[in-house]
Amino acid sequence: MKDRPANPGLLVESQGDEMDMSEAVIVKSSRLKSVVWNDFDRIKKGDTFVAVCRHCKKKLSGSSTSGTSHLRNHLIRCQRRSNHGISQFITSREKKKEATLAITNYVDQGQKKDDVLNLVNIRFDPEQVKEETNNTLSYNFDQRRSRFDLARMIILHGYPLAMVEHVGFRVFVKNLHPLFELVTCNRVETDCLEIYVKEKQKVNELLDKLPGKISLSADMWSATDHLESSYLCLTAHYIDESWQLNKKVLNFMFVDPSHTEDLHAETIMSCLMDWDIDRKLFSMTFDCSSTSDYISLQIRDRLSQNRFLYCNGQLFDVSCAIDLLNLMAQDALEALCNILPKIRESIQHIKQSREGQAKFNEIAEQVKVQSQKLLSLDNPSMWNSTYVMLGAAIEYREAFSLLRENDLGYTACPTEEEWGRTCTITGYLKFLFEVTNVLTKANFSTANIFFPELCDLHLQLMEWSKNSDDYIKSLAFKMRTKFEEYWDKSGLALAVSAMLDPRFKMKLVEYYYPQIYGVVALQRIDDVLNCVKALYNEHSICSPLASIDQGLAWQVGSSSGSLPGSGKDARDRLMGFDKFLHESSQSEGSKSDLDKYLEEPLFPRNVDFNVLNWWKVHTPRYPILSMMARNVLGIPMSKVAPDSAFKTGRKVLDRDWSSLKPATIEALVCSQDWIRSELES
């Protein structure tokens, strides 16, 4: 039966209630194709056909000449059908959580195809959700809006696209709203791509309006089903106009294993130009590897040729500190490769039966073990769990030794020499564990917090290298070599970021460098200070204040072009003169922001100190230095999320998404990041 316009005269809601239905018969017919008949019974009384709503028992015309539009309209108005079960499914906690999912700004049904992207604009209004929940009569079903709601839900929660074709899902949706036209996997994939295009446009506009520079991090992922398949994830890090640290995933690209490092560098450059941020780039953070070093060098040289980088790119190339700590932890565990199996087997031996556990407990009491730690096996893919296992086992070492004497079946006990080395190396892991926790669990993980932690690690490595045991000394040397390679590349950026912490300024550098560098410490301190001054001077030229305060002969609109990352032709041969004129003018005039900042007393140290909030408050006092602080403190010294800080392998793509086309995977991963960050803001 085809839908036809409803005839008001055919409604029998007032009369139909009084009709005698005693001899009525429910009609079953294969001709009733419309989905509305899932909610109506078609009843015949003599020559009259009546449609009875299964929810509120209203009676409407069921004649074949009446169409079904009036039945659809009734379903939308039917209060019993709309309100049934709402209160029991929405708790007060869920209402608050789901309040963020109010969706508005959708286009009309007749809108052009090109305007479909407007459907994905989303505003989260708790009051609107409350109003719609309590007033369902005002709700108008919109197929297109619901379709994009479904696509957005799949993106947000990482559901498989194929869920739209699962029988259980299709039955659920049809029973929830029979007017919704079910979509195919291909259709929802297309909708997800449209959402990606619209969200990308919003991110593009955001990046274009940022008050400062952008730093980038690069991370490698693996596909679940194809371990040889790799993806490169590029993430932008920046401090916005409200002095909040933010990040956005920009690209998630399939990496052909046959490609060389040159091609990888070219691919990244193409992404930067696609986003139009090659001129706005301040730094890049990579893994600690020779391959990453080569790629970053290629990109730095390319940007330096166009004079887009500050300080000739001295602060551009940064390695991930957490990646360094993980590599050092792996070195420590590798040094225990012959002992770890014994400790795991020892724990398994006592836990294989209740009797064995009880016997071991008696032995522990006998040797007066005071530990409250529980013996448990580790997860080899998380090195912190191995550290916890070792820490507990060491405290029971005497009990294990006595168990070996009393239990002939126990043969896995480490020797005294092995226990001694295990104690020393576990101490190294303890230090790495504590540093990792500080750097990943901090309330404000800005670049300034890394310098003191890594300086302490530097000093510890120097001490560990003095161990009398050649085996331990060899391990310490291996770890120290990795650290010094990292320090040579990233140490300057760490020191400059520490200088921009008003609790430390240059004093922290002056405290640590003599301990680290000895007789050449003063030269190293001067290197940091010279970099700070050069960086400040370049930001001074960038600032519109330069043309006002110093009387320089360029306009605000064109002055930004003679600076790193600006739009002016890089062939301007008087850029050096502009810098000279500005520096000489400053030396003849009043004190600069930098001079005032360094001369004033240190800010008191506070556990809950927020360096970004401090710079936000003090921007009027240090207008130029605050520009510099925004860029430097936004450098991602670590690109690892807290929940992945101790993982030993690459991040792995979701199994359901890994089988999709690379373009679809990129759209889903990027859109998910953008939508989630919008929900959290």
Quick one: which of 468, 426, 402, 416 has its CA closest to 329?
426
| Mean pLDDT for the stretch of residues 232-241 | 95
Question: Which has more pLDDT, 602 or 79?
Answer: 602
Task: Report the range out of 81-85, 360-364, 509-513 with the highest average pLDDT.
Answer: 509-513
Quick one: which of 30, 77, 31, 88 has its CA closest to 53?
77
pLDDT confidence of residue 128: 47
pLDDT confidence of residue 577: 73
Enumerate residues 6+ apart whose C-beta is below 8 A from 603: 502, 503, 609, 614
pLDDT confidence of residue 118: 44
Both tokens of 150, joined, read: 């479904």
Beta-sheet pairing, 651-652 with 214-222: parallel
Instruction: Let me know: does 81 contact 109? Beta carbons within 8 Å.
Output: no
Q: How confident is the model at residue 129 (pLDDT cuts 50, 70, 90)?
A: very low
> Which residue's entry shows tokens 């009393």?
406
Residue 455 has pLDDT above 90, yes or no: yes
Please count the other Cβ atoms lying within 10 Å of the Cβ belonging to residue 49: 17
Q: How confident is the model at residue 17 (pLDDT cuts 50, 70, 90)?
A: very low
The DSSP bridge partners found for residue 231 are 221, 254
Amino acid letter, residue 88:
Q
Per-residue pLDDT tens over the stretch 602-637: 999 887 889 999 999 999 999 999 999 999 999 999
Distance of alpha carbon 466 from alpha carbon 516, whole angstroms: 15
Annotate 11-45 with three-state secondary structure: CCCCCHHHCCCCCCEECCCCCCCCHHHHCEEEEEE
Distance of alpha carbon 671 from alpha carbon 677, whole angstroms: 10
pLDDT confidence of residue 22: 54
Distance of alpha carbon 47 from alpha carbon 52, whole angstroms: 16
Please count the other Cβ atoms lying within 10 Å of the Cβ belonging to residue 638: 23
Enumerate residues 6+ apart whose C-beta is below 8 A from 548: none
Residue 243 has pLDDT above 60, yes or no: yes
Lowest mean pLDDT among 46-50, 299-303, 400-404, 482-486: 46-50
Q: What are the backbone dihedrals phi and psi of residue 309, each rounded to the nearest 5 degrees, phi first?
A: -105, 145
Q: How confident is the model at residue 582 (pLDDT cuts 50, 70, 90)?
A: low
Handedness of CA 313, 442, 287, 203 (dihedral sign): negative
The order of strands in the sheet holding 40-45 is: 25-26, 40-45, 48-53, 59-61
Enumerate residues 6+ apart whose C-beta is below 8 A from 14: none
